Structures are given as structure tokens and as C-alpha cells.
Structure 1
Amino acid sequence: MHIADRISRLGTETAFAVAARAAAHKAAGHEVFPFHLGDMNIPTPANVMEAACRAMRAGKTGYCPSPGIPELRDALALDVNAARGTSYAMENVAIQPGGKPVIGKFIMACMNPGEEVLYPNPGYPIYESQIEYHGGVAVPYRYLRDTSGFHIDLDHLQSLITPRTRAIIINDLQNPLGAQCSDAERNRLAELAMRHDLAVLLDEAYFDIRYGGKSVSLASIPGMAERSVILYTFSKKFAMTGWRLGAAIGPREIIDVVAKLNVNDESCSNHFVQHGALEGLTGDQSGPLAILSTLKERRDAAVELLNSMSGVDCPSPEATFYLFPEVTELMSRKGFTDDYASFAEDILVKTGVSLCTRLHFGRPLHGEERRFIRLAYSGIDVDGIRKGLLALKTYAAQ
């Protein structure tokens, strides 16, 4: 069977390979502490589940409009406007089977083959995969770390813009770094996007997962909503990772293209799930607040233990459910200076802690010398966090 050449350009999300290795280790009779994958072991709020069940019983099990049911599109536009100070209407919203499809559809709508798209590195690996799969040139921009956490290297980003640059992907409240843009960073990014006439994908999957302060969207800056597509997902705020529901929100001319791609790709998103999401947006909000409280407790426990370890330094981000501690000293002391894979395997075998490394979030950039790992705490409770990280602390002290 001949496989199309374009498939060779398609990447993957290698965190799933870590999950498979962890499952095999557990099947062999070992205890595993799953810090590797950003899934959630927190129940979806009861009112959301009941609304979806009511919709099924009411016969909402067939096709629905390709851009999504009007009630949900309208409610989501209102919700986004209230949080971001925007003025979207239902026509600016196209419901998707998850947040991830927004990435590929944005690329298809806005980038021609051979054009360049800037994307964050470290960053979500599907950005690079989709740019290259659709024939574009993926250009990574980097982050710098200071005592407060990670920040976009804006001078480096600006140096990468060429006449062939068509778009930029910005993941504010970032996976894997947990980083968020400052007001100064957002203003500089907006100025660059407008000066160079760039389309912008604003991946705001974690906009509502924050423990202090207030999330701010780049789309709130005058002139940015007209050139930006917001990636929205119900997965995080409502613990609906397996329900697969999200949305693209942006200018009508791009959203119309996304809706046409919906027709070609999946016809429509799941009908009754959309009614569950509608209840999530408009109904009792105690569920999302409880989810945030649980995640904050987990973050605090994990950060405290990580920073008590020899050779580990971990900032405490105010958003997402990821930690990106530096382990340069620990890796060197253990004899794994450049060998992330062996380091992670050694930790799994000796402690049961399953984690991702910096390599799961893009190819290392030129001159990169510091070493990092990523831990997700969305799928492990506080007792598991403490037990697993105490084992890792003993490992670090040896």
C-alpha cells in the first residue's frame, strides 16, 4: 500500500508514548504516579452530565448544524465577551470536536504552502505538526526564564519575522511552561502582529484555569480581534477532556471557512454533548469553582515538594495545571547530562513517577543548555502527588 508523502510530515503527541510506557510498568506490578499526561481525574460537574443525559433522552442524538447549535454558539459568544471585553456574536463561533481541531483548521484557513508560521517552543507539539503537514514552514520562537517564571523572548521573536511570515501562534497560559504574558508582552505582540499583518491563533485553552489574578486576552487589545482566532475548549474548566468539545472564535470570514471545514471533516460536533456544555456555561458554576480549588491544592503540594528536592527548582505558576521545573543539576549529578530519555526511565523504574521531559514539547533550540521536565497534576490526587514526589525527593538526595 502506497502511503501519501504528506504523512511523513505529520508529527504526534509523544506524551502518549510516555503514557503507554507507564501503563506497561503498572501492568508489571509496579505502582505508578501519573504526572505525564494532562488528562483529568476530576468528575465533570453533575449538572453538565445531567443536561447531556436529558438531551439524549429528548432525542438530541442525530445531526445538528455544522457550526454548532445556535444556543451554544450564542451563549459562548456572550461568555467570551464578558471575560475578554470583546463583541463577538453567534456568527463568530464555530463549535469543534475538541480544542485541538482548531489548530489544523486555522492553519488550513490562513496559511498557504511555503508560508511561515511562528510557534512557541517549548510548546504544544501539534502546532509544529500541523504547520508542516499542511506544507508550511514551522518557525519556533523561544522563552526566557527569570525568578518569576518564563517569558517570551520578544526580541528573538521579532528577528524571526520575514516577508513570508503569515501567522503566529500564541499560547498564553502556556502548556508546558505554565507561563502567562504580561501586559507589556501582549502589547508588544499586538504591535508586531498588526505591523506585519499576521493572522494570530490565540490558544486560550487554560484561560479559566488560574488560581490568582485575572486572565487577559490578546483579543481585548484594539485591532487584534479582527485578525485573531481564539481556541476555546470545554475540557479544562468543566473537566470534559473525553467529551471532545471546543470552539473556534474569531472574524466571520475565517469562522465561515472553519464551518465549511467542519462539513468536510466531521459533519458536526456531538449534539447532546453541546447541550451539556450549554448548561456548563449558563447553569450552576459551583462545579468549575470546585475544580479550580482541587487543582490549586494539588499545585501547592507539588510545588512545595519539588522545591525541597536537591537539584530541582520549580516556579509556581498562577495558571494551567503544569509545572516545568529545572533539573539541570540533578541530571548532571545522576550522569544524564543530555540524555532525557534515560533520565525519565531511571525515575520511572526507581520511583514510579511517570513524567514528560522538555523533548516532548519541541526540538531543543540552538544554545539551549538548561534541562527541564514537565509534570501535570490534573490526573493525580494530593495523596498520590505527595507519595510520588517524596519518592522522587529520596531519589534526588541519593
Structure 2
Amino acid sequence: MQKLARRLERLGTETAFSVAQAAAAWKAKGNLVYPFHLGDINIPTAPHIIEAMNKAIADGYTGYCPGPGIPQLREALAEDIGSRRGIEFSPENVVVMTGGKPVITKFLQAVMNPGEEVLYPNPGFPIYESQIEYLGGTAVPYRYVPTSKGFAIDLDQVRASITPNTTAIIYNDLQNPISAESTAAEREAIAQIAIEHDLWVLSDEAYFETRYEGVSSSITSIPGMAERTVMLYTFSKKFAMTGSRLGCAVAPRDIAQVLSTLNTNDESCTTHYVQWAGIEALRGPQEPVQDMLDILKDRRDAACGIVNSIPGMSVAVPQSTFYLFPDVTEAMQKLGYTAVGDFASDALYKTGVSFCTREHFGRRLPGEDRQYIRLAYSGIETPAIEEGLGRLREWIENA
């Protein structure tokens, strides 16, 4: 019998999609479902962006184009991303890709040899761990500790985890799933660690502009970091273009050339007409971006208010992303659950509320004794948030 490659045993997945399947199956049986599980956006892409995409198709931009992206989009990205971070980038620093995920894989292909160690956040986006291990590296998790304002990186643990075999660190400020945002001091500390140990850095900035208060900062802006950092940028979140699959890496020129070659090997190029839509997104009217943020902020406020009124649940109010990561330890104890997966499953069947748990975002680390779930409010409108979380509250209150 023919065998498959052994490396497939190391390949993970984005486990939120399995939760989506369970929710869809429950809904197919005629049940009401309140979808808090996926970080998709149920707000349409702005009309002017769609019009630009349709015009590009009509104008014949349906064939191959340069592997690193069309020059016009690379120029627009360099200008926009650089101006928002106080850094001067050139188009040669920008490599257009089919969304943000390919940046993770290609960064690792470019800087990590088999057997080398890469630090990654845990809880964190599960594709980090999956791709490190699939490509033959050693995935070394670093943890977060709860604070009154959310979560903070355990910097002592990061420092203790570095060995002579460590080659890179993945850093996700404005973090999925926990909405953690670094303080300036924490960001500086990660930069200093990277410089001191001569590490490559992948700075995942997918949610850089999905924020409701304050101003985002990039680790790339810190002196000594631009030459060792690859930045992940995506159109998915800011412009509600998740299905368009458009993003880019911003990298030092030598790494950008490698990433461009990987593009040519993997998919030849990013869809040509979608890139013209990206130009319009960046340079066209920006009012739809603010309108979407206003909607998401309203959803955040509604969700946080109800979560913090549920017995045994609590969450800090995040200033960015569209996720909540509430502590549900006491709520589970009140209901008699010891496994958060059982709690989530019964919540779906008894209240219709569908959500991911801490276990969907990396292996639980030694010493973890609290239980968490993730609620994504990007794909559910405010009245449904209030109704669904109200049913969850009633279930827990009546236990």
C-alpha cells in the first residue's frame, strides 16, 4: 500500500473550522446558532473596492502578473504601511501574497532550517505551531500571564526558552485569540531579546488598524529591528476582504527576494484583478473602514458588558482586534465541568452559542490552571450578541 509523507503527521490546522462544522451541523437540524467561533467578518467589502475589482476583470487583468505583486500595489503598500509606522519602505521591501497566512509559511521556509527552534505565542494563532513543526523545526511556546488590563507576555519565560539553536521568534502584537496588546516596554523588551540573540522576527500585524482606542505601534519601528523583521500585513481585517485572499510581507530586501522566489514556486502570483482592488482599498475612500470599526466597537461593548455580568466569567475590555478571551473557570465549576471542550459543546446544544476554547490555540502549557474561551464578534450583529450571550447567562445562572 502506498504511504503518505511522514511530515503530514506534524501538520496541524486552524481548529476553529472544526467548531464551525459542528455549529453548521446543529443549525442544519433547525436549531438557532449564535456564531462566535470564526474571525470572519459579516460586513460586506466596500462597493468602491468591488467596483475596482470588477473593472480590472473587465479590463482584462485576468492573467499572470509579477510574482512579488504588481508594481502599483507594491508602491501603494510601501507608502501606506510605512507612513502609518513612521518607517520608509520601498516597493522592493513588499512581496504581495494570497492573504496573511502564506507569510508565516514562507518566512519559516526562508529563515528556519530543520531542527532549529522558533519561539511562538501560546495561546496563539494555531498555524504558527503547525507550520514550524511541519517544516521540520522545533516549536517552542511562550506564554502570557493575566493582568487587570488583559494579558502580558511572560518575558522571563521567553528569555529562559532561548538556546543556541533558536533562530526566530513570532510576535503577534494585537493578538489573536487573546486581544493582548504590548505596552511600549514589553515591545522594547522583545526587540532587545531579538537583537541580543540575533533572532529573526515575524511581526504579525494583521490587526494593526483594527482598533477602537489608542494608536498602534510596530516593533519594526524600534532601532535595529527593520533589518531582522518580516512584517505580516493583510487586507482581510481592515477592509473586510477575507475571501479575496490578499496580503503581503514587508521585509528586508534580501529576504523579500527569497519570498518572491517562493511565490513563483508556490502559486506563480497573487490573483491579478484582486491586486487592483487592493490599490483602491488603500487609496480610495476610507470612510467604510471607520464605519466598520464603529460597528465592531458597538459589538465589543455589548459583548463585554454581558460577559462581565455572567456569574463566573470575566474579561478585560480590549482596545483592538475583534476577539474576547474571557476566563470561565468559575462558571465551569458552577456547572460541574472540568473539561472546557465539554463546556463549549453543551453551550452550543443548550444555548446555541458557538465558540472556540483555549485548546484551539495551542497546546496547554504546564501550570495553566484557568479555563478560557474565545468569542469572536466580527461575524455576529449586536442584537444577536445580546440575545445569544443572554441565553448563555441564563443557562449559567440557572445551574
Superposition TM-score, scaled by structure 1 size: 0.99
Q: Structure 2 matches for 1:293-308, cutoff 5 A?
A: 293-308=294-309
Q: Distance in 2 between matches of 1:211 and 1:393?
A: 26
Q: Distance in 1 between matches of 2:97 and 2:348?
A: 36
- Deviation per residue, 1:361-387 (Å, 9 max, x gap): 011100000100000000000011011
Q: Which residue of 1 aligns with 2:69?
A: 68
* Matching of residue 180 in structure 1 with residue 201 in structure 2: no
Q: Which residue of 1 aligns with 2:247?
A: 246
Q: Distance in 2 between matches of 1:250 and 1:108?
A: 14
Q: Structure 2 matches for 1:227-306, cutoff 5 A?
A: 227-306=228-307
Q: Distance in 2 between matches of 1:274 and 1:205?
A: 18
Q: Structure 2 matches for 1:1-398, cutoff 5 A?
A: 1-337=2-338, 339-398=339-398
Partner-residue secondary structure (3-state), 2:96: strand
Deviation for aligned residue 1:41: 0.4
RMSD: 0.6
Q: Distance in 1 between matches of 2:158 and 2:333?
A: 30
Segments of structure 1 that go 5 or more residues without pairing to the other structure are none
Deviation for aligned residue 1:178: 0.4
- Deviation per residue, 1:190-213 (Å, 9 max, x gap): 111000000000000000100001
Q: Distance in 2 between matches of 1:229 and 1:278?
A: 21
Deviation for aligned residue 1:340: 1.6
Deviation for aligned residue 1:334: 1.1
Deviation for aligned residue 1:332: 1.2
Moved over 3 A (4+): none
Is residue 334–residue 396 contact of structure 2 (8 Å, CA) maintained in 1?
no
Q: Distance in 2 between matches of 1:91 and 1:32?
A: 46
- Deviation per residue, 1:151-205 (Å, 9 max, x gap): 1011111110100000000000000000111000011111110000000000000
Q: Distance in 2 between matches of 1:312 and 1:246?
A: 36
Superposition TM-score, scaled by structure 2 size: 0.99
Residue type at the aligned position of 1:269: T
Residue type at the aligned position of 1:283: G
Q: Distance in 2 between matches of 1:125 and 1:241?
A: 18
Residue type at the aligned position of 1:367: G
- Deviation per residue, 1:43-90 (Å, 9 max, x gap): 101111111111011001111100001000001000011111111100
Q: Distance in 2 between matches of 1:381 and 1:333?
A: 29
Residue type at the aligned position of 1:134: L
Segments of structure 2 that go 5 or more residues without pairing to the other structure are none
Pairs aligned (count): 397
Deviation for aligned residue 1:38: 0.3
Q: Distance in 1 between matches of 2:76 and 2:224?
A: 24
Partner-residue secondary structure (3-state), 1:226: coil
Partner-residue secondary structure (3-state), 2:119: strand
Deviation for aligned residue 1:333: 1.4
Question: Percentage identity across aligned positions?
Answer: 58
Partner-residue secondary structure (3-state), 2:236: coil
Q: Distance in 2 between matches of 1:70 and 1:180?
A: 33
Residue type at the aligned position of 1:12: T
Deviation for aligned residue 1:287: 1.0
